Structure 1
Amino acid sequence: MTLEEKITFYSREDAAAFQKYLREKGCPSRISVEHSFSGTPYFEGTIASILHLIELIGAREKDADLDELKSDLLTRRKTLEEFFASHKPGDSLTEATPSQLLAQAESIDAMGEDVQKQASDKFMNALMILGTLEDNELLEVSEENECYTLLDIKDPNELRVMYAYTDFSGVMEDDLKEAGVSSHIRTSSATEYIITAGAELLFVSDIEDLAELLDNMDVEDDEAARFVDAVFFKQALIARIHALVSEGKQSEAELLAAFDAPAFPLEGTDDVISYDISAEYLSGVVSDLRKQGVLSGKDGKIKSS
């Protein structure tokens, strides 16, 4: 159906919860599961060896991107040196638990501009430190107690890091051997739970309620916003079709011609909305609205039910 709308979840539980919400609204839906598998090639080595690799490449040609990468590595090394200088094995990293980091991230937007960058830098440094420690097996993670324990102290130069192939240009096989850097292809699988909501959702959905529900589910912010917008825009389209039919437009051709207007007032707002839709799309919408009992009519005639 043309008026159906899809949304992708990354949690089976949240997908099931959303289906329950739709069912309670009297909206049928179906779910499909899609699996994907991909790999990304990286160069892997110690901080010292990656710095050496950058020097080897830089000796042949200047590259602003490599200069930026070198600066990033030096900053990472300095940050890790400061971290190790203030910690010892067995320390519990109480300020780096998932809930603490989430609270930090949520509070950044509420800060004034003068302290926002400082807070953002501190947050990103915390994520970098945790990731580096975990990649080097220097972290014991207790998910049950949400506790991170530092297992050992190391020279940051000896910590292993990975950078994508695309971060480097002009690298040669001999450079990798001399620097002691190896290739590492990191593969991963992903599972998506795609729910297709029936057109009924457009007639029973409260946009604010829908947005609030999705805000608390495992769905990407952009995807949730796209879905909510799509529902809202389709509701506006249906309302406009109903209004045009009520004004006497009795065929798809007449409706399509009417939509050529520059813009229409968007009901309930001070905004206007314009439509650029194809005859095929409009035909599908009209067909769906007939199935929903919103429109009726025979022999090409359209009328309100």
Structure 2
Amino acid sequence: MTLEEKITFYSRENAAEFQKYLKEKDCSARISVEHLFSGTPYFEGTIAAFATLIDTIIAKEEDSELSEIKADLLSREKTLTEFFAEHKVGDVLTDATPSQLLAQLETIEANGNEDIQKTATEKFVNSLMILGTLEDNELLNVAGETPEYTLTGIKDPKEMRVMYAYTDLAGITPEDLDGSGITSHIRTSSTTGYVITTGPEIMLTSGIDDLGDVLEHLDVDDDEAGRFVDAIFFKQALIAKIHELIVGGITTEDALLKAFDAPAFPLGDTTDVISFDLTADYLSGVLNDLRKQGFIKGRDGKIKSC
């Protein structure tokens, strides 16, 4: 159905909880499982190898993007050097796990001090970089549900292997890489999504003002949640305008489509406006869904409010 909307969750439990919420609002919702498999190509090499390669290229021709990567390499090396100076093999990294630092960051953000927020954010990003680099270099043991991170080895930061996406080093040629010690590493991964498909009746209910708050407490990507809430709002605005135009005297699909050619319409009782760029097929699909919901009636291109 045209008015159906989808949202993907990371776990079946959260999808089921959202499905329950929708059903309590008399909105139908079904769950389907979606498996995705994707890959991203990276360049992989030691910090020293990347630094040497970039220095060689920049010596021939200045490149601001490569200079930024060189600065990132030096920052990684400095951060890793400081980390190894403060830790020994066997240490359990209890004070710098992503979950702990993220919790600290969220607490600090709530307090609103920008300088402290910036420091906490940098610490969080550095923690992710350190743990990721240690794991890629097999210097970290991760165990347990919490999980627990144990340092299993120490290495010269210059000799630690790091990766950059192909797109980060788009200007590098095969000739540049020859003899550099830098190779390709294609990382593939599979993910499982639990997709909720809502019925069109969600567009007609007035009891979902708390939709955004509900999603905020579930395990769903922020952008995905935002896209879903926006889609519901936009479709509700479209349906409201369809109702208004039909009540105003429009009786055919063709006339309704032509009416939507207007530059913009007032958005509710606000001073804001909304515009619609609709295809005939899309509008027809919306109207068919509204007929099935008993919102409008009429056949063969005719429309009438119920």
- Range into which the TM-score falls when normalised by the shorter chain: 0.7 to 0.9
Name the CA distance, whole Å, in 2 between partners of 1:237 and 1:172. Answer: 53
Moved more, 43-52 or 125-134: 43-52
Moved more, 277-286 or 288-297: 277-286
- Please tell me whether the aligned partners of residues 207 and 232 of structure 1 are also in contact (alpha carbons under 8 angstroms): no
Give the letter aligned to residue 215 of structure 1: E
Name the CA distance, whole Å, in 2 between partners of 1:172 and 1:146. Answer: 40
Ranges in structure 1 where 5+ consecutive residues have no aligned partner: none
Name the CA distance, whole Å, in 2 between partners of 1:175 and 1:242. Answer: 63
- Please tell me whether the aligned partners of residues 57 and 175 of structure 1 are also in contact (alpha carbons under 8 angstroms): no
**SS of alignment partner, residue 91 of structure 1:** coil
How many residue pairs were aligned? 304
Give the letter aligned to residue 8 of structure 2: T
| Residue deviations 1:119-170 (CA, integer Å, cap 9, x gap) | 3222211211111112222222233344322233322122221122333334
| Residue deviations 1:166-214 (CA, integer Å, cap 9, x gap) | 333344457443x333322222223333332110111236443221222
The aligned residue for residue 23 of structure 2 is 23
- Give, in angstroms, the shift of residue 26 of structure 1: 2.8
| Residue deviations 1:229-249 (CA, integer Å, cap 9, x gap) | 111121122122222222322
Moved more, 64-73 or 149-158: 149-158
Name the CA distance, whole Å, in 2 between partners of 1:207 and 1:28. Answer: 13
**SS of alignment partner, residue 193 of structure 1:** strand
Q: CA RMSD in A?
A: 2.6
The aligned residue for residue 119 of structure 1 is 120
The aligned residue for residue 49 of structure 2 is 49
Cα 1:62–1:98, aligned 2, differ >3 Å: closer, same or farther?
closer
Cα 1:175–1:251, aligned 2, differ >3 Å: closer, same or farther?
closer
The aligned residue for residue 138 of structure 2 is 137
- Give, in angstroms, the shift of residue 92 of structure 1: 2.7
TM alignment of 1:188-267, pairs within 5 A? 188-204=189-205, 206-267=207-268
Moved more, 83-92 or 68-77: 83-92
- Please tell me whether the aligned partners of residues 265 and 273 of structure 2 are also in contact (alpha carbons under 8 angstroms): yes
- Please tell me whether the aligned partners of residues 176 and 182 of structure 1 are also in contact (alpha carbons under 8 angstroms): no
The aligned residue for residue 282 of structure 2 is 281
Cα 1:49–1:275, aligned 2, differ >3 Å: closer, same or farther?
closer
Question: Normalising by structure 2, what TM-score?
Answer: 0.87
The aligned residue for residue 297 of structure 1 is 298
Name the CA distance, whole Å, in 1 between partners of 2:194 and 2:200. Answer: 19
The aligned residue for residue 33 of structure 1 is 33
Name the CA distance, whole Å, in 2 between partners of 1:297 and 1:171. Answer: 64
- Please tell me whether the aligned partners of residues 263 and 274 of structure 1 are also in contact (alpha carbons under 8 angstroms): yes
User: Is the aligned partner of 1:69 residue 2:55?
Assistant: no
Give the letter aligned to residue 4 of structure 2: E
Cα 1:242–1:127, aligned 2, differ >3 Å: closer, same or farther?
same
Identity rate, percent:
65
Name the CA distance, whole Å, in 1 between partners of 2:177 and 2:59. Answer: 11
The aligned residue for residue 85 of structure 1 is 85
Give the letter aligned to residue 17 of structure 1: E
Cα 1:29–1:59, aligned 2, differ >3 Å: closer, same or farther?
same
**SS of alignment partner, residue 94 of structure 1:** coil
Name the CA distance, whole Å, in 2 between partners of 1:175 and 1:36. Answer: 32
Question: Normalising by structure 1, what TM-score?
Answer: 0.87
Cα 1:145–1:293, aligned 2, differ >3 Å: closer, same or farther?
closer
Name the CA distance, whole Å, in 1 between partners of 2:271 and 2:261. Answer: 21
Name the CA distance, whole Å, in 2 between partners of 1:170 and 1:156. Answer: 24
Name the CA distance, whole Å, in 1 between partners of 2:41 and 2:285. Answer: 44
**SS of alignment partner, residue 45 of structure 1:** strand
Name the CA distance, whole Å, in 1 between partners of 2:281 and 2:258. Answer: 14
- Please tell me whether the aligned partners of residues 53 and 176 of structure 1 are also in contact (alpha carbons under 8 angstroms): no
